[in-house]
Structure 1
Amino acid sequence: MVLGVRGDDGCRLWAEQAGVGPPLVLCHGGPGLWDYLAPVTRLLEDHARTIRWDQRGCGRSQRRGPYRVARFVADLDAVRDQLAGPRTALLGHSWGAHLALRYAIEHPERVSHLIYVSGTGIDPDRGWHPHYKRNLRLRLGPHLDRWEVLSARARTPAEDREWAVLQWSADFADPGTALRHADRMATPWRGINHDCGQAINAEVKEELRSSDLAGQCRALDLPVLIIDGTEDIRPRWAVDSLYRALPNSQRVSLAGAAHLPWVESPDDFRRAVTTFLRQ
């Protein structure tokens, strides 16, 4: 069921809910992308009432700023308030994992469970990023030259889609199916909001340097599940300090899966999430 949500500043946000059970709000990654978590909804439809949404400026939501982390946290609170109820579980993927973590830190009484999928941790020096860039180029293999050509120039909408599919293909472990999975993510193509992505990424980088996220995580007294794919090109040791800081957390690493573990290890992903939500 497609539903509309209004942010507290009137911004129109696209949302959809499906399934039965306790509420679970899903936060997609990016920043600057749109919701691609429908496969997660299908995996969990008998266990949770999932609520998916496009973040402001992205996909089917209103193309409107400001693109600030605090603004996205407020939008997530509007989604929670209008669709989920007073308390909900959260599942965030990649950048969405950081958004869900920030929301839980600011509103712990409104979160029952936090599921942190393929995030990049809280280390202020972002020491994982050089490893990511090297691994990205290695994983792109025969597509590297074309990706570099597209990366270096202003792109038409068709070229932007081609660039995204090539880059996203590196987020899957099996080169035989990677391009097909990435193309499915890009269909239908809703256009990347690069301004949003640049603004949010810059703010998160500064936030990690200037705030004590580790201390805030040590005070977060709610259950947290960290899910990683062992083949993610973002090194998973980047999340170690977050795992150590959280007082009530568990960690599941799915062998053979990469950045979108529900695609390459769906049964294990569903088992991990549903077991956690039943606790």
Structure 2
Amino acid sequence: MKQKYTTCVIMDPEMAVYKNSMRITVGDCTYGVSVIGDGEPIVCFHGFSESGNTWDNVKLVNHAMYRIDCIGHGQSDKPRPLEPYTIPAMLEDMHTVINLAVGDKYALMGYSMGARLALLYALQYGDEVQALVLESGSVGIADETERQARVDSDEALAQNIESLDSAWFANMWANVSIFASQQSLPDAVKAKIQARRQHNQVHALANTLRGSGQGIMPYVGDELHRLPCRTLYVSGSLDTKYDGIRQSVFEGQPNVTTHCIEGAGHNTHIEQPEEFSKVVLDFLRD
């Protein structure tokens, strides 16, 4: 196996969109990291087809938010081979990126796909994660038949994306039922979401589905007791699937706090950023 090397370049703040922007190379892949705020570090993983910019309206006082673009997204590389998009490779690379950018003690927060990755990451590197925030995240699919059906569904979507284009994907994804509550967002907010989705490359979206989709994720619903850190699970009341996961899977788990944001759907941090920020801050300060 080829040995990985790492480099970290901090861009000129006068040229960067944010206070600090970094380009961190791990092996053959370079990751984009943007930092907003000052104080205790909290690492942020975004959702599928999004980027670190999804957290723009989240304000965590006295915290520095390290928003990492997952492989194939945002300012990170979009390699054509599948291997960098597989869950083991993603977790290992993210761990290297975080240690270079932040150190070995930090809070961790993830949304949707990012919440799945954050949960798996915390189970693997829990001695470093001091607090964990999961927003609308899955614990995987327990039933083998259902899991294979999800793999097949993701493969069909990947083939559609490859045969069409990112504009088709962005329009289709915006009309998925889980995002129905976003239709009432201001036009400027919806335009930013759409721009992030259209920025993606078709092969990167397809590789993400094949390498780290929900059907590929191992089921860890029976391993939550192993989480060594305080954990917060946040869902929206309009998102019946993931609010159901909050109630049936996370409520009652040791060291886990849950919160439902009324009137929000799947993406609570975009639909109600002030309420989301308050809930997370209260948790982190506890």
Task: Please confirm whether the aligned pair reaches a TM-score higher than 0.5, indicating the same fold.
Answer: yes
Q: CA deviation at 1:49?
A: 0.3
Deviations 1:98-152 (CA, angstroms, capped at 9, x unpaired):
10011110111110100000112344139999xxxxxxxxxxxxxxxxxxxxx79
Structure 1 residue 227 corresponds to structure 2 residue 242: no
Note if contact 1:217-1:242 (Cα within 8 Å) is conserved in structure 2. Answer: no
Q: Which residue of 2 aligns with 1:148?
A: none
Q: Which residue of 2 aligns with 1:155?
A: 164
Structure 1 residue 116 corresponds to structure 2 residue 127: no
Name the Cα RMSD after superposition.
3.0
When normalised by structure 1's length, the TM-score is 0.78
Note if contact 1:218-1:245 (Cα within 8 Å) is conserved in structure 2. Answer: no
Note if contact 2:34-2:66 (Cα within 8 Å) is conserved in structure 1. Answer: yes
Whole-Å separation in 1 of the counterparts to 2:209 and 2:38: 36
Q: Which residue of 2 aligns with 1:35?
A: 52
When normalised by structure 2's length, the TM-score is 0.77
Cα 1:16–1:162 change in 2 (3 A) is same
Q: CA deviation at 1:206?
A: 4.5
Q: CA deviation at 1:246?
A: 3.7
Q: CA deviation at 1:233?
A: 5.4
Deviations 1:56-112 (CA, angstroms, capped at 9, x unpaired):
122221112421101111122122101111111000000110100111101111101
SS of equivalent to 1:182: helix
Whole-Å separation in 2 of the counterparts to 1:52 and 1:127: 35
Structure 1 residue 63 corresponds to structure 2 residue 78: yes
Q: 1:185 aligns with which of 193, 209, 213?
A: 193
Q: Which residue of 2 aligns with 1:146?
A: none
Whole-Å separation in 2 of the counterparts to 1:163 and 1:29: 16
Unaligned runs of 5+ in 2: 1-19, 148-159
Note if contact 1:3-1:15 (Cα within 8 Å) is conserved in structure 2. Answer: yes
Whole-Å separation in 1 of the counterparts to 2:241 and 2:188: 21
Whole-Å separation in 2 of the counterparts to 1:79 and 1:152: 29
Structure 1 moving runs of 4+ over 6 Å: 126-129
SS of equivalent to 2:92: helix
How many positions carry a matched residue from both structures? 251
Unaligned runs of 5+ in 1: 130-150
Whole-Å separation in 1 of the counterparts to 2:51 and 2:161: 24
Q: What pairs up with 1:6-85 in 2 under 5 angstroms?
A: 6-7=25-26, 9-30=27-48, 32-40=49-57, 42-44=58-60, 46-64=61-79, 65=81, 66=83, 67-85=85-103
SS of equivalent to 2:39: coil
Letter in 1 for 2:235: D
Note if contact 1:23-1:49 (Cα within 8 Å) is conserved in structure 2. Answer: yes
SS of equivalent to 2:175: helix
Q: What pairs up with 1:181-260 in 2 under 5 angstroms?
A: 181-188=189-196, 189-192=198-201, 193-202=204-213, 204-208=214-218, 213-232=220-239, 234-244=241-251, 246-260=253-267
Letter in 2 for 1:107: Y
SS of equivalent to 2:42: strand
